Amino acid sequence: MVVATETYAYAAEPQPVRTRRRPKYRESDEPGGIPSNIMFDRRVVRGNTYAAQILPAEPLMETTGRPKKVVQTLKRASTPEPIDGRRHMDIQTDAYLEELTDTVPEAEISTQTDAFLDRPPTPRFIPMKTGVDMETQIESGEIFDFDLEVEPILEVLVGKTLEQGLMEVLEEEELEAMRTHQENFEQIRNAELIATQRMEAAEKRKEEEKQRRIEQEKQRLEREGQVRQKVAASSFARGFLDTVVEDVFADLHQAGHFYDPVEKEVQDTFLPWLLAETQSQLGNMEVSYNTAKSIVAAALKKKLDAQQKAEDARKAAIAKAKAEEEAKAAAEEKATEEAAKDAKEDAEDGEPKPEGEEEEAAA
């Protein structure tokens, strides 16, 4: 067996695997590259930075020399759709009309597409390979020595196996002890269960005996009560039957089953006739009374009307006489005033009036 005498060392330094994607930042130190001078870089502006920047015309020419293509879409005016119930027809719009005699040939052609084919199965997705392949060479015995390094592994395996076996033996013993303890517990529990069942049976028998005695006592009390009720009913019936005959005859006599023929004839025949005659006489008397009352009332009303008319005539005559007296008094007062006025006028004139005028004035 070959034993490695020296440690393994890589032939190349470790480096990151390059990808196909473009890096976000440029590497600062590229191996084998030539540093560039910024004085000859076209992107660096030289001169006064405060002066106005004059852009060269070359970029402008480049932009103006490549005009953008403008796509113009001409929309053709189309005829609107016909309204409901009408349709469009082709007509001649030429300047000179001519008769159309040629018949346009028509033919019907049909075709059938092929049946749909099943979709082919989707190929398995295989991601694209990324990175750069690298390789190395490892000789036998360079990684580890089996005989030397297998001892710790064997120690662990053997120790773990022994420990697992010991744990299984202890577990079996513990299970056996638990099984024995369970059997003892089952025996004790069964014995206690039997004793409990016996005690429950004895208690049940005592309870049944108690209920039976209670039921017997209830039946005895019920029989005694029935006997007392029968004795009381017999005593009551005996006392009731002693007076029932007298009460029955009294009730029958009161109901009219035992009656005097004369008394019954008076009650059934004479009294109803007497009551009817009395009611008839009372009715006639009431009619006469009402008639006399109405006659008296009519006479009184007539007399009152005559008195009222006489009173009204008297009041009218009094009012008329009073009015005539007032008119006469007013005429006399007026004549007196006129006579006084005339006398005053005569006195002022100094001439005495003739006697005829004085009489007329006095009248």
pLDDT in tens, 57-68: 554 444 444 545
Please tell me the distance from the alpha carbon of residue 277 to that of residue 285, in angstroms, as a whole number: 12
Residue 71 has pLDDT above 80, yes or no: no
Q: Is residue 57 part of a domain?
A: no
Confidence of residue 11 (pLDDT cuts 50, 70, 90): low
> Count of domains in the chain?
1
Q: Taking phi first (over 0 means left), then psi (-120 to 50 degrees means alpha), and beta for anything else, what does residue 141 get?
A: left
Query: The pTM is what?
Result: 0.23
Residue labelled with tokens 């990175």: 131
CA terminus-to-terminus distance, the chain = 201
Q: Is residue 158 part of a domain?
A: yes
Q: Is residue 350 part of a domain?
A: no
Q: Is residue 148 part of a domain?
A: no
Give the pair of three-digit tokens for residue 346.
Answer: 């005569």
Confidence of residue 234 (pLDDT cuts 50, 70, 90): confident
Q: By residue range, what is the domain housing residue 224?
A: 154-229
Q: Is residue 206 part of a domain?
A: yes
Q: Is residue 359 part of a domain?
A: no
Cα 43–chain centre separation: 76
Give the pair of three-digit tokens for residue 138.
Answer: 């490892």
Q: Is residue 81 part of a domain?
A: no
Measuring CA to CA, how many Å separate 293 from each of 52, 232, 290, 338? Answer: 146, 75, 5, 66
DSSP H/E element including 355 = helix 355-362
Count of CB atoms situated within 10 Å of the CB of 135: 4
Residue 156: phi, psi to the nearest 5?
Answer: -65, -45
